[in-house]
Amino acid sequence: MRKPVYSSIILKKGKEEPVLRKHPWIFSGAIAHSEGEVQAGDIVAVLSHDRKLLGYGLLEEGSIAVKMISFGTSPIEKDFWQKKFETAFSLRKALGLTNNRSTTAYRFINSEGDGMPGLVADYYNGVMVFQAQSTGMQILLHTLAESLLSVYPNHLRAIYSKPAEYTNYSVKNNNLNEGFLWGNAENVVIKENGFQFEVDFMKGQKTGFFLDQRENREMMRRYAIGRSVLNCFCYTGAFSVYAFGGGAIRVDSVDSSGTAIENCERNLQLNGFDAFPHSCIKADALKYLDDMKEEYDLIILDPPAFAKHSHQKANAVRAYRHINRLAIRKAKPGSFLFTFSCSQVIDSSLFSGIILSAAIEAEREVKLLHHLTQGPDHPVSIFHPEGEYLKGILLYIF
């Protein structure tokens, strides 16, 4: 640890209740004052107004001033992070992911869901990719890598740190902790439910692959037989690969990124589907939906987040309603629509309301078949419902 004795944050009277309920966020308005020298990224002791120890957290800049890493009075010992990793590993082992020949990639650390707010870690067939999304976790990256190696002695070829949104620490220190923290590797090929995908963990979006959709892709495969499929915002083309694996007679994949289109083509080829009836189309998905005829009977909408901050919510609501209205209106009778939102500020209730409005405006008969969410390797702390960021709905349109 960087400090044997931690400085303290004292909460205002009455502001300890969320911490006692194990919510990991402490907002700046809840803090009365600090004791000792503190700066962003420090581990701090969190005390109630009457100086009772509530736990420990990472001090951050912004409205969320502290992100809790432990609750209660237990001290932070030398093996603190190792125990966090062991707990995370135990869950993934219980899920059947740590020694699985047909699936060699999974989310290993899911931030607050694994008690490590500000850190995402994805395992790609021997390569662990860290994304530190807070100053505290960026500072700790080398310590975390050392702790990880004691948990994964025979599973890893490399540990790579990929920058997320820039924090003041990363700017001041010129991304000091970016790159390989241990070992070395190039792009990797993973398996997911038996399908193969090339992962560009250095340059790809997020950590390189959207692992949170694994179960949803598998569900979509079961509905794809004999259908013409449109995969909007295709990125790596994973949904497209699954569609052919499920017996689709045609798949069109649309993305505005030329790199995404290349990735889609490569992954179709990797799985032997490059000769199947398909098109990988570089186009704006909204315009494509607007211009197309009623030619698809299974549509996937998995757009990037339309809102990352609360002040963008209104625009995001309009964007989600518009794109879903187009898809519902243009779908052939008897179609399935898999539609998703990964915007954290759009909760499941609001997303359901958006889809209802889109269906009304599209003037189609629509049935709701399933509510969808992220896979179980992306756990959500029951004390932190905000961690359920991926919302999805399966619709039947007639």
Distance CA 99, CA 119 (A): 23
Query: Would you state the torsion angle of the CA atoms of residues 75, 77, 80, 83, taken in this order, to the nearest 10 degrees?
Result: -100
**Catalytic pick among 232, 234, 264, 342:** 342
Residue 219: HSE in the Cβ half-sphere, 13 Å Cα cutoff:
20
Task: Give the pair of three-digit tokens for residue 76.
Answer: 């932070």
Residue 280 appears among annotated catalytic residues: no
b/e for 34-55, b at 16 or more Cβ within 10 A?
eeeeeebbbbbbbbbeeeeebb
Active site amino acids? 342
